[in-house]
Structure 1
Amino acid sequence: MKNMKKSLFIVALAVGALAFSSCASKKDLENCRAENNQLSADYQSAKETIAANNARIKSLEDQLAQARESAAALQGSLDNSLRNANSNNINISKLVDQINESNQYIRHLVEVKSKSDSLNMVLTNNLTRSLSREELKEVDVQVLKGVVYISLADNMLYKSGSYEVNDRAEQTLSKIAKIITDYKDYDVLIEGNTDNVPINTANDKMKNIRNNWDLSCLRAASVVQYLQDRFGVNPKRLTAGGRGEYNPLATNDTELGKQRNRRTQIIITPKLDQFMDLIGEAPETKSAK
């Protein structure tokens, strides 16, 4: 009886071991299949990556070949240019000297212009400060394109119906004369301007004047002589000119516009001969052969 129980125990143990072994083998098989599937997917991905990299490498190789061709063409152009430069005997040093000379001339012109602009501003400020509040209502001072313009209303400058300077203008003209005298490196143009109303030839003072051209010129000449005779301004620096009705500031359709157009301008400019000398100093440009 004991032997039979022992035999049955052994048989049961064997059957259990066989069943456990069978379960373990099935699980391993599933694991192997899953690993195989993953490896297959990784292999396919690797193949695709390799194919893409090969295509990229091919594209880079093509680009490199094109770059080498371009470099060879550029080198050929450079060699050709150097041969032409040598054959034509271009003197690079001389060209550099010419460029430097031109640059120096340009810098000099810029310095002269800056100095002129600064002097114009000082001149304008000095004149404006010297004028009274009442005078500033009839005198306009401004700088345009490097030139100082002093515009005076005709009713302040001249006697009624005349081109003669009146006594009222003396104080204002004395201040302008001082500025002109202080800034000796400037020329002065006195320019007369009128509206478009024909002159009244019935007026005895106007009977010898033909038109607004005559009137504008005579008024400018009167101011020139006044500056010379009353305040000793060097006449060699003065020029008188008239523009008649042909340089209006405003429309002549209104009384206010006509009043603005009836004016005399004192235009203060740097001496032109200085600028002509600068032009004469300009470096000559010589073409390189």
Structure 2
Amino acid sequence: MIKKIILASLCVTLFSSCVTRRLYNELDAQLKDCTEERNRLLSESEALRNESLQLENSLNNSERMLAAAIVERDRLQIEYDQLAKSYKTLEKNSDAAIKAEIDRLNRLKSELNEKSTRVNELENKLAAQDANLKRLKDSLSKALYAFEGKGLTVEMKNGKVYVSMENKLLFNSGSWAVNKEGKIAVEELGKVLAQNPDISILIEGHTDNDRVIWNLGGGIESNWDLSTKRATTIVNILENNPNIDKKNLTAAGRSEFAPISSNATTEGKAKNRRIEVILTPKLDEISKMLNEI
């Protein structure tokens, strides 16, 4: 009997132990499931919160874009209304406006044709003047050919003809009296100039930079005086030609201040001691034409 009771007690205890372990395992599994579910829900909640923030930002941007679009629409509407109003006004006055524009274009065309004619006349005048200068240069080269190589050169530049004569052809050292050969050269120059009454004649005297250190022949104390007297002497020879208009003649002394070569060498000084005859077409008519354009 006692054995049966003990055996029964052992069975009850063993059964109770088995039930408790199984229940624990079940509860523990449920706990894990609940924990995983909670974590999943928390993750989904965070994702939904982030998505909500993004949607809110997107909504704000959309609202701002909508507001800007409304402002732009209103601006365009105002501009459209103004254009529509201008169009109606233009449409009402189209005939008068078109006629006025046609008249304006006709006036401009007339002015353009007139200016084109003047420009063509001026171009022809300049071309003729250039041709005359070239002929003058050729005539001078031919007339003075015998003196080229003796310090005399003829060239055309800047719309002018330059006849340059070194002092060795014209003057003795320190003198402003023209020697025999130099006088012949100047007289030959005068014969050509007499045939060109529309040319202004500027005679420039030039020296080197050697200082005048004594009184030369009665009153020459500087290169200014010497260059001016030499230029004046050439003018005096030219004006003896009765066919040269005296109003066309000008004498100028440039002293040492317009050298064409270095004064550091003897050769350079010789080139700087010179008379330059500068021949310029009279530009009164051309200036008048330019002012009329």
Pair 1:109 & 2:122 matched: yes
- TM (norm. structure 2) is 0.62
State which of 241, 248, 260 in structure 1 corresponds to 2:252: 241
SS of residue paired to 1:178: helix
Match of 2:156 among 133, 137, 143: 143
Alignment partner of 1:198 is 2:211: yes
Q: 1:212 aligns with which of 211, 218, 223?
A: 223
Q: Which amino acid aligns with 2:263?
A: N
Alignment of structure 1 residues 65-214 onto 2, 5 Å: 86=97, 89-90=100-101, 91-203=104-216, 205=217, 207-214=218-225
State how far apart, in whole Å, the 2-side matches of 1:134 and 1:236 are.
Answer: 27
Q: Structure 1 counterpart of 2:180, which letter? A: D
- For 1:133 and 1:164, locate their aligned partners in 2 and report how far apart those are by CA, in whole Å: 21
Q: Please give the per-residue CA displacement for 1:155-191, whole angstroms capped at 9, x wherever unaligned.
A: 2112331112222212211211011001111111101
Q: CA deviation at 1:275?
A: 3.0
- Does residue 1:252 correspond to 2:263, yes or no? yes
Contact 1:116-1:270 within 8 A present in 2 as well: yes
Q: 1:93 Cα deviation (Å)?
A: 0.9
Q: Who is 1:279 aligned against?
A: 290
Q: Larger Cα Rg: Structure 1 or Structure 2?
A: 2
**Residues 94 and 247 of structure 1: CA distance in aligned 2, closer, same or farther (over 3 Å):** same
Return closer, same or farther for 1:136/1:235 CA change in 2, 3 Å cut-off: farther
| Deviation readout 1:69-123 (Å, 9 max, x if unpaired) | xxxxxxx9xx98xx69939945111111112222222211211111111111111
Q: Deviations over 1:230-286 (max 9, x none)?
A: 565321110111211111111111111111111111111111333333334x13xxx
Deviation at 1:201, TM superposition (A): 2.2
Cα separation, 1, equivalents of 2:242 and 2:169: 19
Give 2:177's aligned amino acid. Answer: E
The whole-number CA distance in structure 1 between the counterparts of 2:236 and 2:147 is 25
Aligned residues: CA RMSD? 2.6
What secondary structure sits across from 2:240 in the alignment? helix
**Is this contact kept in 1: 2:197–2:245, CA < 8 A?**
no
The count of corresponding residues between Structure 1 and Structure 2 is 201
Query: What SS does the aligned partner of 1:149 have?
Result: strand
Aligned-pair CA distance for 1:210: 3.3
Aligned counterparts of 1:231 and 1:132: Cα–Cα separation in 2: 24
Q: What is the percent sequence identity of the aligned residues?
A: 31
Q: 1:176 to 1:151 in 2, by over 3 A?
A: same
Q: Distance in 1 between matches of 2:183 and 2:253?
A: 21
Counterpart CA distance in 2 for 1:269 and 1:137 is 24
Q: What is the distance in 1 between the residues matched to 2:198 and 2:241?
A: 21
Stretch deviating more after TM superposition (228-237 or 103-112) = 228-237
Q: 2:19: which partner in 1?
A: none
Output the CA distance in 2 between the equivalents of 1:122 and 1:167.
Answer: 28
TM-score, length-normalised on structure 1? 0.63
Inter-partner Cα distance in structure 1 for 2:229 and 2:170? 13
Distance in 2, matches of 1:200 and 1:168, equals: 28
Question: Over residues 22-54 of structure 1, what are the superposed CA-to-partner deviations in whole Å (9 max), with x where a residue is unaligned?
Answer: xxxxxxxxxxxxxxxxxxxxxxxxxxxxxxxxx
Cα 1:133–1:168 shift into 2, 3 Å = closer
